[in-house]
Amino acid sequence: MMKNSICLLSFSLLAIVIVTAVYAMDIRNMDNKLSGCIEILVDNNTIKIIELATGKIQDVLSQEHGNYLYSFDTSHSGKEKVIETDEGLFVYTADDKKLKRLIKKNSSTSVPSFSPDGTFIAYLSTKYKEEHKYRIDDRYLYVVKHDGSSDRQVSNLSCVNHKPSWFPDGKRIAIGSKDFGIYIIDIITGDGERIIDFGTSPSVSHDGKKIIYLSKEVDASVKSKMINYQIISMKEYQDVYMSKNNKKEEGQLSTLFYSYTFYIYDISSGRRNKISDEIFISPYSSLIWSPDDKYILYTDNKYEHHQVNILNIETMNKEKITYGVAMGFR
């Protein structure tokens, strides 16, 4: 009787935990090669760790600062987390289980990412503006030490709001631009190399040899429309899309931004290979390599409760693990 009552609370946190455990066990049974643990964000207020081999679930942190947790990243040692809330960026240390504010300035900060050695944190920042010129504010790449010192802007590239992806040397970052370019940025000089003309959400493999990213199989005119839709000013948006005659066109354009195909870019050869059919995933979703670079963890955005999936890049088989938003694979 108690079990039935719990199952009926489909929107409660407890129900989500139960469903998570079931899916984790299913994945373990279907592919016994999976190991390690994944980190997910549930309902914008709870961080959980799931052991793939056992299905064991651990709550790490619940919301304390602000109303929402938007994203987080974990250092390679696992001892520190950098967390984005609606009140800014905080560092969480496992030893004292406390949140310490990282950034102290009047700006909007998002999608933090630890460098491989844990020394630096990359993030995106929108400078405060009294008058917003753009429908989507310009975000720029910053790097700060994990103790909050040496905070600086790295590049003037206008970036899409997606987690910066470090190369293993800790000297370069792959990032997507607002006009659908993918760049490799040198964090010392700020110099950028545009390697892909139509793609987003890049993620560098642990060996530094490949980049997985999202793109669409559409013709040049559709690509142009998507790019223009991203970069137009607020006035242009109001003039073009807010009239009744263009509501339908705006709806058609908007739907293009929530399904993409996975591609892998080989850095040494420059070759690009398609590795999936089109799936429901937004250009802001993180693509996360497994430690052995054989799987990709990602979030399917088709449903109200986002689903965490895993893709085998060799077989192209994908499996559902749990509900939530994928954040890490260790």
- Residues 212 and 310: their CA atoms lie apart, in Å, by 14
Confidence of residue 227 (pLDDT cuts 50, 70, 90): very high
Q: Which residue has the higher pLDDT, 4 or 73?
A: 73
Q: Minimum mean pLDDT among 105-109, 178-182, 222-226: which range?
A: 105-109
Burial class (CB in 10 A: 0-12, 13-18, 19+), 269: exposed
Question: And the tokens for 16?
Answer: 């989500």
Burial class (CB in 10 A: 0-12, 13-18, 19+), 312: middle
75, amino acid identity:
S
pLDDT for position 22 = 39
Picking from 232, 243, 330, the residue whose alpha carbon sits closest to that of residue 290 is 330
Secondary structure letter of residue 139 according to DSSP: B
Provide the mean pLDDT of the chain. Answer: 84
Q: Given a cut of 90, is residue 135 above it in pLDDT? A: no
Residues 245-262 have pLDDT tens digits of 667 778 888 889 999 999
- Between the two ends of the chain, the Cα-to-Cα distance in Å is 38
Confidence of residue 11 (pLDDT cuts 50, 70, 90): very low
Question: And the tokens for 211?
Answer: 């980049």
Domains defined for the chain, CATH in brackets? 13-58+281-330 (no CATH), 63-218+261-277 (2.120.10.30)
- Residues 302 and 259: their CA atoms lie apart, in Å, by 9
51-60, 205-214, 221-230: range with highest mean pLDDT: 205-214
- Residues 87 and 81: their CA atoms lie apart, in Å, by 16
pTM as predicted: 0.86
Confidence of residue 98 (pLDDT cuts 50, 70, 90): confident
Tell me how crowded residue 19 is: count the other CB atoms within 10 A of its CB: 16
Instruction: Please report, rounded to a whole number, the percentage of residues in the chain having pLDDT higher than 90.
Output: 58
Report yes or no: 318 and 234 within 8 Å, Cβ to Cβ.
no
**77-to-118, 149, 169 alpha-carbon distances in Å:** 8, 20, 16
Q: Given a cut of 90, is residue 128 above it in pLDDT? A: no
Tell me how crowded residue 108 is: count the other CB atoms within 10 A of its CB: 14
- Residue position matching structure tokens 């089109």: 278
Report yes or no: 47 and 39 within 8 Å, Cβ to Cβ.
yes
Residues 41-64 have pLDDT tens digits of 998 788 999 999 888 999 887 666
Q: Given a cut of 50, is residue 104 above it in pLDDT? A: yes
Question: And the tokens for 256?
Answer: 């293009």
pLDDT average, residue stretch 266-283: 94
Residues 63-73 have pLDDT tens digits of 665 678 899 99
Burial 55-93 (b: 16+ CB within 10 A, else e): bebeeebebeeeeebbbbbbbeeeebbbbbbeebbbbbe
